[in-house]
Amino acid sequence: MKESMRLDKYLADMGVGTRSEVKGLIKKGKIQVNGTIANDYSRKIIVGTDVIMYAGEEITYLEYEYFMLNKPAGVLSATEDKHAKTVLDLLTTSKRKDLFPVGRLDKDTEGLLLITNDGALSHALLSPKKHVDKMYYAKVEGMVTEQDVEAFAEGLQMDEEWRAMPAKLKILVQDTISEITLVIQEGKFHQVKRMFEVVGKKVIFLKRLSMGPLQLDEKLMPGEYRKLTEEELQKLKESHS
């Protein structure tokens, strides 16, 4: 059985306007349903069957949207902020108005961020019980050693109450500025930076490369985004079903 919903909710969900703005458009005869002008904002629409038109365009209903963003530094992983640009400000082609970032990256951290309105998928990816791998690339001030690799693999004692889960540290460049990849399964506040502080080093650049089976598209420049492919979405859902 196909879902039905009020016309004003349908249009508001798809970003045509707020509920009150949408009602105004309907009163002015700006909305058509199945080729005739709609005049009742409370009428029921059969999603996927009825054809809704506004300004010469068909308004198709999307229950969920999924975007991969290459988050740039200097942007907040938040839905809104009065003083700073957020990741949602970068999404100019989304239909839904209830999108949110799945987890967060620090303001100065770059890389993969999934943005959606699918709460169930978000919960599955962020749940500590699911142990979802998250891979980061970092530049680190200080010589990263095999001792660090072993310490990360054992799980670092972060403070009196928190011992980090075992993490996979791989050294790419070993120098005064080292380059590494790190796979963790947690996502605590400033976690990667704090882990390196425990071993006496400082992260000076951080970028997330993957989250579960989802890998950052190398073609996306910082600040660019695209919809997830069907294959990517299927892999995400299968990995947490």
Q: Would you give the DSSP letter of residue 164?
A: P
Residue partners of 196: CB distance under 8 A and separation at least 6: 138, 140, 142, 202, 203
Active site residue 217: no
What tokens does 236 get? 């995400």
Distance between CA atoms of residues 72 and 221, nearest Å = 8
Residue partners of 124: CB distance under 8 A and separation at least 6: 130, 240
Q: Which among 106, 108, 133, 217 is annotated as catalytic?
A: 106
Q: What are phi and psi of 25, to 5 degrees?
A: -65, -40
Candidates 30, 31, 64; CA nearest to 45 is 31
Distance between CA atoms of residues 202 and 144, nearest Å = 10
Interstrand relation of 134-141 and 57-58 (parallel, antiparallel or unpaired):
unpaired
Identify residue 186 by its one-letter amino acid code: E
Active site residues: 106
